[in-house]
Structure 1
Amino acid sequence: MTYLTDEMRKRLDLLLSEAGACPIDLPVLYHADLFVDLIGEDIRRRLYVAPGSNGEAMALRPEFTIPACLHHLSGGAADRPASYACIGPVFRQREDGAPGEFYQAGIEQIDPDGGVEFDANSVARAVLLVESLSAQKPVVTIGDLALFSSLLTALDAPAVWQRRLEGAFGDRKVLDRMLARLEKGGSENHGASAGLAKILDGKATSDVRDAVEEMLSIAGLTTVGGRSVGDIAERYMEKAELAAKAGWDADKLDVISRYLSISGSLDDSLERLTAFNAQEGGPLGAALQQFSDRIVAIRNAVPQGTPLQFKADFGRRLDYYSGFNFELNFDGQDKPVAGGGRYDRLLGLLAPRAKTDLGADIQAVPAIGFVIWLDRLTNA
């Protein structure tokens, strides 16, 4: 079942056109390393991958954002404004036994002047699409990696720990396990990791990467468990660095845990965040003001009466996301019917891989997107 009837397709086309989004047709097949390197472990371990005629691993597209950004890069300057409408099947293995081919629809936007109104516009479009297609009012949940990153920086988190915590953001169980490990010294197997630390002491990341690549080549592998050579090399370096550290300050870990527990309506959450920030000496910095401005913009943009809530530990597990995230749910349902977020770094990361002469010197370009799961919407 495709969950995309002719009637729904016509309605989607009309709604996306009214939103000013230009429809684009995207290929289904891509080099797998595009997703392995950039999309995050949660999805890359569920890719459908097969060898191409030249031996390179190819993957069915698991989502629209990376393909849409490649399309954008092939058409001109990376920082030109654009709004793309994407409708069609995506492919990834799903743990709930649902079909691995399912339909999504969404909008990807790029705007060099994008600010909090840019974010609010994306949320409002997602809400309007979901309401129009379902005749139900969704609950909007927002989160912000920028607030969490600002807190970690203010607490002087070691760089390797900050990367790991930011990488796990959005999965509270994983974050809690990491915090518990950090209190003990960072490694679950300190003896083995301490030996690894001695071996890698003073080694450059590039040298470790070359060694890992050679070992995998001997074994006839290019990836392990969905991780690329670069991922594995960096993980070795991280484990070695973690083993060389003593346990982190328990008071700082408590500050992080208290921050992650903040949630509620936007008004209540802003009050709690402001009080927390004052109590701890201002660790949230400019990110808190931006969050406050975004709340105002979202309230002004979405339909009146839309339920809005914030969760400090909420994030969507995609590596290319760079800050603000959101999801739409219906009451009584665990799985979101829509979700999106900012990915300002992605165009710069993709530029060297795209068939373009733009080069690799593209800086951050404000970009945001969202998708709707049409099967979940139909079931709802």
Structure 2
Amino acid sequence: MSRNLSIQELNNRFKEFFLLEGFNYIEPPLVVNSDIYFETSGEQIRKDMFSVSSAQGTEMCLRPDLTIPTCQTFLKDNQHFDQAKLCYSGPIFRSGDVNNSIELNQSGIEILSTNMIKEDNYQEEVDIINLAIKTLNNINKVNFDINLGDISIFIEFLDCLDLPQRWKDRLKRHFFRRDYFESLLKRIELGIGFNETRKEDVLKKHLGIKVDISDSDLKERLMNINAIEFGERSIEDIINRLNVKSENIISSEKGVEIVRVIRSFLNINCELEQLPNLISNFAKEEDEHQFDNVIQMASNFSKKIKLGIGNTDINFKTDFGHSIEYYDGIMFEIEDRDNQSNKLLVGGRYDSLLNNLGLDNRASAIGFAVNNNNI
């Protein structure tokens, strides 16, 4: 049984299995530049990193995961090829896992491509999940549950909300930083923007102008106020900026309602085949047509994944809560059914990570890692 295998034996078993599946084995560097983890990884990884400063002042760290150094290795060599199936087995270094163990161990695979246009058929996602299941079955692990999420569905949901774009962008950018994400929701509840009351205060109190004045009349009045120093900004710019700010208002009442809708969406937790119906029911309770794109996206996602995976039970969460910030599509984890806090394997799609590492072209990147210490 797998629980009798040592870490080294697991490393060898996984390596042999991945090689048979057509992957090329690499050994990513143990020490890497810390900056990329500060920019792309989750708060927990950043807290658990072991970092030191080099003689040149560059902050370096013992690798806290293997995905990023694997991608860096791929990009260094991709002048010779534009796609690769890479695998690895080896230590990572974090302070906060498995009874504060410093050295942990992972075995995993990454499928990386450049100059690739990704289609919405989810075939790579299906293949990677099936391979993850097969990987665990290969060491006689069969008693587990699969949890699934997709950050792109949440992003599509945000795009449907009546919320200023800059606030949508903030919520997207900080979704994985949950404390800060919560603080953003609380700020929305309090009301945001430059409201009509503030606009009226500026025009009436400071300039002696009625708030219902037309833009043309406002321009004429401003041109006659010699005491105002406009600097390099034109009067038209000032008027446009004032109008834009007043249009971006979210009142406290409206903010509370928007946050309620966001929290309601993030509470969806169901079997994958139930996802389209739950999203449809959610939309009917809110605004039946506002979320049509989300319904279509969730339906396509559920259908393609379920069809490709077969009879395997899969649970879907809109609030997947993954701790790795560089995931930008599907995210999944396989946990021990007898101990749900025991994550056997984690993975997902992270196309944008290759671009953050310096790639200019379109990219496709997806993979997973087995937590060998939890086997």
CA 314–18 in structure 1, closer or farther in 2 if over 3 Å, else same:
same
What residue ranges of structure 1 are gaps of 5+ in the alignment? 188-243, 352-359
Instruction: From 68, 71, 76, give the equivalent of 2:70.
Output: 68
Task: Identify which range, 244-253 or 270-279, moves more after superposition.
Answer: 244-253
CA 95–102 in structure 1, closer or farther in 2 if over 3 Å, else same:
closer
Instruction: From 133, 137, 140, give the equivalent of 2:139.
Output: 133
Contact 2:106–2:372 at 8 Å: present in 1 too?
Answer: yes
Instruction: From 166, 171, 177, give the equivalent of 1:165.
Output: 171
- Residue aligning to 2:374: 376
CA 373–6 in structure 1, closer or farther in 2 if over 3 Å, else same:
closer
Instruction: From 234, 246, 264, give the equivalent of 1:258.
Output: 264
Contact 2:32–2:63 at 8 Å: present in 1 too?
Answer: yes
CA 346–13 in structure 1, closer or farther in 2 if over 3 Å, else same:
same
Contact 2:176–2:325 at 8 Å: present in 1 too?
Answer: no
- Residue aligning to 1:15: 17
CA 21–293 in structure 1, closer or farther in 2 if over 3 Å, else same:
farther
Contact 2:279–2:298 at 8 Å: present in 1 too?
Answer: no
Q: Render the CA deviation track for 1:308-362: whole Å, top value 9, x for unaligned.
A: 01111114222221121111112232232111111111111111xxxxxxxx6x1
* Number of positions where the alignment pairs a residue of Structure 1 with one of Structure 2: 309
SS in 2 for 1:104: strand
Q: Render the CA deviation track for 1:195-244: whole Å, top value 9, x for unaligned.
A: xxxxxxxxxxxxxxxxxxxxxxxxxxxxxxxxxxxxxxxxxxxxxxxxx9
Amino acid at match of 1:343: Y
Amino acid at match of 1:370: F
SS in 2 for 1:70: helix
Contact 1:172–1:313 at 8 Å: present in 2 too?
Answer: no
The Cα shift of 1:113 comes to 4.8
Identity %: 26
The Cα shift of 1:171 comes to 7.0
The higher radius of gyration belongs to 2
Instruction: From 148, 151, 156, give the equivalent of 2:154.
Output: 148
Amino acid at match of 1:152: L
CA 9–65 in structure 1, closer or farther in 2 if over 3 Å, else same:
closer
- Residue aligning to 1:103: 105
1:367 aligns with 2:365: yes
- Residue aligning to 2:318: 312
Tell me how far apart the structure 2 counterparts of residues 75 and 123 of structure 1 sit (CA, whole Å).
Answer: 27
CA 185–278 in structure 1, closer or farther in 2 if over 3 Å, else same:
closer
Contact 1:104–1:374 at 8 Å: present in 2 too?
Answer: yes
SS in 2 for 1:326: strand
- Residue aligning to 2:199: none
SS in 1 for 2:374: helix
Task: Identify which range, 362-371 or 162-171, moves more after superposition.
Answer: 162-171
Residue correspondence of structure 1 range 78-227 to structure 2 within 5 A: 80-94=82-96, 97-111=99-113, 112-115=116-119, 116-169=122-175, 175-176=181-182, 178-185=184-191
- Residue aligning to 2:276: 270
The Cα shift of 1:174 comes to 6.2
1:334 aligns with 2:332: no
Amino acid at match of 1:87: S
The Cα shift of 1:173 comes to 7.0
CA 32–174 in structure 1, closer or farther in 2 if over 3 Å, else same:
closer
What residue ranges of structure 2 are gaps of 5+ in the alignment? 194-248
Amino acid at match of 2:71: C
Tell me how far apart the structure 2 counterparts of residues 57 and 81 of structure 1 sit (CA, whole Å).
Answer: 30
Amino acid at match of 1:24: I
Tell me how far apart the structure 2 counterparts of residues 118 and 78 of structure 1 sit (CA, whole Å).
Answer: 23
Tell me how far apart the structure 1 counterparts of residues 127 and 149 of structure 2 sit (CA, whole Å).
Answer: 16
Amino acid at match of 1:70: Q
CA 273–172 in structure 1, closer or farther in 2 if over 3 Å, else same:
farther
Tell me how far apart the structure 2 counterparts of residues 284 and 89 of structure 1 sit (CA, whole Å).
Answer: 44
Tell me how far apart the structure 2 counterparts of residues 78 and 253 of structure 1 sit (CA, whole Å).
Answer: 49
Contact 1:102–1:375 at 8 Å: present in 2 too?
Answer: yes
